Amino acid sequence: MKSTDDAVAAIKAIPEYQKKFQEVFGHDVNFADIENAIAAYERTQLAFDSPFDKFVNGDQNAISDSAKRGWSIFNGKGRCMSCHGWNPTQPLFTDQKFHNIGVSAHKSDFVPLARKALDLLNTTGGDSIAIDKLAIGTDMSGLGRFLVTKQPHDIGSFRTMTLRNLLVTQPYFHDGSQATLWDTIDHYNKGGVQNPYLDGGITPLGLTEAEEDDLVAFLASLTSPEYADAAKQEYDLQFKRSRTDRPQRDEGAANGDKGRGPGLAGPFGDIGPQQTLENPALVGGD
C-alpha cells in the first residue's frame, strides 16, 4: 500500500470487512481502527506451554532424548544461544538485536550497494518514507538495518527471530530463502555466507547429521499445543525432504577442511563444493 488512504480504500472495498467494522467499531473503516484490529489480533498470537516449557519447568519426560541432546548442542557446539539465548525472564529465544548472519550475502555485493543506498538517502533526505521505498521496492532490502542507522556494522543485519512455532511459520529467514529447518542449520553449519560484515559469532560448526537432527528435534519442542498436529505434519514433510534434498549442506566448509577459510567467498561468490582453491582452474570464470 502506498499510503494509509490506499489501505483504508482497499479494506473498505471488501464487503465482509465493511460489515465487521460496523459491528465491532460502530462506524465505517478508518485507519486507526485497522491498527486497533491488527493489534488485537497480534495479542492473540501467544506462544507458550510447549513441551520445552514443560521440560524446563521440571517435567523430564516432556521432550525426547533427541530434543534434550539438541538443547545441549543449542547451548554448546551449535553456539545458537549467543543470539537466541533463553532464560526464564527472556523466553522468546531472541536477544532482540540485529546481526549479519550472511542471509542476503549471496545476492548482494554489499559495499557498492551500501554506497548507492547512502547516495540515494542523502539526495532524498533519508526520511522514513524514503527508507521504506528502498527497503521494500529495491534490491537494497538485503542491506537490512543499515538503511535505518547508516552504520557500516549494520550492513546486512536483521533482527534475531524468535524460534517458537517454527514448524508452522516456514519458510525461514527474513526473505524466506530456506525451506526447511535442516536448511537453516546447514546455513549456520558452514559458517553462513562470507561477507565483510558477517557477525563474529558465525563460524563453521562441524555439526554431524545426527547432531542436526537433534537440533531440529529441540526446535520442534518449541511448538505451542494448539499447533501440535500441524507441526507434526510439517516436521514429517521436512524430515523426508532433508534425507535427499540439502541445497545448503556443505560438509567441507562445516568441518573447515577444504583448504579455505571458513565459508570463504571468492571474488565470484561462494566457492561451491566442486571448486577449491587448490584447483584454481575451476574458480570463477563466469
| Residues in touch with ligand HEC (CB under 6 A) | 78-80, 82-84, 99, 101, 103, 158, 160-161, 163, 166, 169, 172-174, 181, 184-185, 188, 199, 201-202, 215
DSSP 8-state code for residue 102: S
Q: Which is nearer to ligand HEC, 21 or 71 (CB)?
A: 71
The DSSP secondary structure of 28-97, one letter per residue, reads: ---HHHHHHHHHHHHTT------HHHHHHTT-TTSS-HHHHHHHHHHHTTT-THHHH--BTTBTTS--S-
Q: Please identify, using beta-carbon distances, which residue of 19 and 174 lies nearer to ligand HEC.
A: 174
Tell me the one-letter amino acid at 267: P
Measured CA distances, 190 to 77, 214, 257 (Å):
13, 17, 11
- Nearer CB in complex with ligand HEC: 25/91: 91
Nearer to ligand HEC, 18 or 141 (CB): 141
Q: How far is the CB of 52 from ligand HEC (least distance, A)?
A: 13
Q: Which three cell numbers stand for residue 77?
A: 557446539
Nearest distance in Å: CB 174, ligand HEC: 3
Return all residues near 253 (Cβ < 8 A) that are at least 6 apart.
189, 190, 191, 204, 260, 262, 263
Minimum CB distance to ligand HEC, residue 210 (Å): 15
Q: How far is the CB of 124 from ligand HEC (least distance, A)?
A: 25
**Shortest separation between residue 264's beta carbon and ligand HEC, angstroms:** 18
CB of 188 to ligand HEC, least distance (A): 4
- Residue 172 vs 197, nearer CB to ligand HEC: 172
Residue 51 or residue 78: which is nearer to ligand HEC going by CB?
78
* Burial degree of 190 (CB within 10 A; 0-12, 13-18, 19+): buried
Q: State which H helix or E strand residue 265 sits in.
A: strand 265-266
